[in-house]
């Protein structure tokens, strides 16, 4: 398994070449109106 080309590339990979990114976590809760619309749509089926 030592001749696996993917594994060789991973071991040669240089993390220093990666760009630094800022991530922002977003968690939007659906509003009551949206939940009511979804419920109405499901009941209509």
What is the predicted pLDDT for the residue at 27? 82
Scored b (16 or more CB within 10 A) or e, 6-37 reads eeeeeeeeeeeeeeeeeeeeeeeeeeeeeeee
Residues in contact with 38: Cβ distance below 8 Å, sequence separation at least 6, in sequence order:
30
What is the predicted pLDDT for the residue at 25? 87
For residue 30, the enclosing domain spans 5-44
Question: Using one digit for the tens of pLDDT, what is the confidence trace for 1-45?
Answer: 567 888 888 889 898 999 999 998 888 888 888 889 988 988 887
User: Strand runs (DSSP E) across the chain, as ranges?
Assistant: none
Overall number of domains in the chain: 1
pTM: 0.34
What is the predicted pLDDT for the residue at 19? 92
């Amino acid at each position: 398994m030592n001749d696996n080309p993917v594994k060789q590339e991973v071991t040669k990979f240089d993390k220093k070449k990666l760009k630094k990114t800022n991530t922002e976590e977003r968690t939007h809760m659906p509003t009551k109106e949206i939940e009511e619309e979804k419920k109405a749509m499901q009941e209509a089926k």
